[in-house]
Amino acid sequence: MSTYRQPGLVLTDHRFTVPLDHDRPGGETIELYGREVVASDRAHRPDLPWLLYLEGGPGFGARRFTGPQAWLGRAVQEFRVLLLDQRGTGHSTPANRQTLPLRGTPAEQAAYLAHFRADSIVRDCELLRRRLTGGAPWTVLGQSFGGFCATNYLSTAPEGLATVLITGGLPSLHACADEVYRAAYPRIRRKNEAHYARYPDDVERVRRIAAHLHEHEVPLPGGGTLTPEAFQSLGILLGGGSGSHQLHLLLEEAFVPTPAGPALSDAFLESVRTHLSFAGHPLYAVLHEVIYAQGPSRGHGPTDWAAERVRAEFPEFDAAKALTGGGPVLLTGESIHPWHFTTDPALRPLRETAGHLAARADWAPLYDPARLAVNAVPVAAAVYHDDMYVDTTHSLETARAIRGLRTWVTDEFEHDGVRAGGPRVLDRLLALVRDEL
């Protein structure tokens, strides 16, 4: 354990050994990393309650703060915070194109990664809680996929929870991956329409770039390929508070003149690469659809590349048809497709592994509606109106199914509200669970 300081904070690095498979506690182990954060003027207080932060994803390590930024500054006013790198992410035992071949064949890699969903993450958290808090329950703050994990926590180990705060992450208790994406594409279309209404010149900019990509093979720095479909996936930016503005700034300087005619600029392509690369978070792509899978007992079959199949039901997202018909080219959002595993060098070696996960059907259920119906843990959730990443209707259905859960439905923020307006968001949720509002 090492301890160090940042302005206003004392930070301590923790490393934990946990079973890969919690049903085989004597078997293979992996390592988890967590960063404890406490306010400098409270570091001497062992009585501070703990708050566990679960990052969105899947596949992202906990956010790296420098000082008491965003929601963290509010949290350390009364909590000792653990920023956990969930299994496979950040400083925890990594799972990526470089390390997964150590597991063997793609089928063996997929079997290994089957232990990296919310149910395993929550069992990790329970082991860590008992080691850190002396057995006392803790508060959990779950952002996006972290909220999915928190909902699993309420279903499986509520005795470990003092309070649960969820931001943009109330999942459907029942919907399969197909239903999730069938609800998603209309929301993504609305985000496109709002962006083009704000920046009408971007309609032609996007059409011009898409047409260029249909006519030219365009490599990205680092070995990726910018296909029309890959370019469309920049629409993921539209789910964040400043994302529409970021997208506009990216698009407005896409082309430069060259001796061979207009070409996409190096600066544009480098910016695109940083937005589209999965090198830093490959599990986001590999596990993205199976976070919705709950197996035959819930009526779910294999995810089978749900986003790709369901997209065919929404022909307005076909760039080639849009270019032929003269309409706007619609960008896509938080969806993973087979072509991601050919255009991105960080994912190419994992294509077969992802295929095995997409074909798997024997997933365990993630949520227990009966147990949630009698929940006794104070819970509050920020539900962002027309959230591009998590369906508002699904979230509100789940809110009604969890006894005692209080919601704050707002269109003040997009999906990243806890980062964009962190102190206010955390203040509001804490007031809700404490019946101060």
Alpha helical stretches, state H, 199-337: 201-215, 228-232, 243-251, 266-276, 282-286, 306-311, 319-325
* Per-residue b or e along 94-113, where b marks 16 or more CB atoms closer than 10 Å to that residue's CB: bbbbeebeebeebeebbbbb
Helices (H), 199-265: 201-215, 228-232, 243-251
202 and 254 in contact (C-beta within 8 Å)?
A: no
**Paired strand residues for 219:** 225
CB 307 within 8 A of CB 337: yes
Yes or no: say if 62 and 84 are a contact pair by the CB < 8 Å rule. Answer: yes
Provide φ and ψ at 210, rounded to 5°: -60, -40
Nearest to 188 by CA among 317, 321, 336, 338: 317
Measured between alpha carbons, how far is 73 from 204 in angstroms, rounded to an integer? Answer: 43
- Rounded CA separation 350/327 (Å): 36
First to last CA, the chain: 40
Residues marked active site are found at 144, 362, 415
